[in-house]
Amino acid sequence: MRKFRLTASACAAALLAGCAGPATRPDAVVARPVVPAATPTVAEAPVAMPMPPTMLDRIRRLAPALDPGVLALALEARACALRNGEVDDDAKLAVIDYSRPSTEKRLWVFDVARAALLFNEHVAHGSGTGENIATRFSNDDGSHATSLGLFRTAETYQGGNGYSLRMDGLDPGFNDHARSRAIVMHGAWYVNPDLIRTQGRLGRSQGCPALREQVAKVVIDTLKQRQLLFAYANDAAFLQRGRSFACDGRSAGQILAAARAGTLGAGAAVGAVAAP
């Protein structure tokens, strides 16, 4: 009887072991879950961020025909005038490039604060300055010659040439006699592109930057009261001794060369183009 009980117990133990599954053999290899190998992280090359455009870049895009060196000098002169408190931050800037013949549109008017081109017009030079090409410049009364440098505009008045704009020269020795010489901006019949076809040049003033009669009033009203006009020519004396653009110690030659090489800019400005 006892033998029967032992046998039954052994069978029960075997059945219980079978419910838990076969025992693992000591030498069996346990399978492990396969983990995919991590993909090596490739460092991304740094993206070069473009440099923000300078004021020179922005204004130059509005007037691609304007020499970037001349524009740079004018913007530097404006920056110096701002630094010296001679005009306000929103001062507009007219640029005349007298190295160009009178047959070309050589006057540009910019709203610098908005980076907008407002006008691109013909402008006359003085009879004492040359025929179609301006070759002689003067600050002297009676010379009938054009003066170079930075001017600050002032009041308007009605005179012998109609609606006119007075200007004060800010370049000692080059244009600081402008008020006493009555060098003003005004309209004139002889600033007529039709004359170019008949006489090969515009008519000439007595030293004033004269404009077409059709646009003179609107241009004058845009530039009156503490705006700026920069008159340039490739004149050795002016480029060596002019002070309006040189308040940071650089020479005209350095500013011109850097701008023409594309390595110079003046502060940033934003805005839209608006050309009539």
Read off the pTM: 0.78
The pLDDT, as a whole number, for residue 262 is: 86
Nearest of 241, 222, 133, 129 to residue 183 by alpha carbon: 129
Q: How many CA atoms lie within 13 A of 231 on its CB side?
A: 34
- Decide: 144 and 128 in contact? Cβ < 8 Å: yes
Q: For 44-58, 76-90, 123-137, which range has the lowest pLDDT when averaged over its residues? A: 44-58
Report, in angstroms and rounded to the nearest whole number, the Rg of the chain calculated over CA atoms.
39
pLDDT for 124: 98
The confidence score (pLDDT) of residue 241 equals 96
Residue linked to tokens 């006008």: 119
Residue-wise pLDDT for 210-254, tens only, equals 999 999 999 999 999 999 999 999 999 999 999 999 999 999 999
Instruction: Summarize pLDDT for 168-220 with one digit per residue, the tens.
Output: 999 999 999 999 999 999 999 999 999 999 999 999 999 999 999 999 999 99
The amino acid occupying position 241 is: R
Average pLDDT for 75-83: 97
Domain residue extents for the chain: 55-261
Best CA proximity match to 109, nearest among 7, 4, 197, 230 = 230
Close Cβ partners of 19 (under 8 Å, ≥ 6 residues apart):
none
CATH of domain 55-261: 2.40.440.10
Q: What is the mean pLDDT of residues 18-32?
A: 44
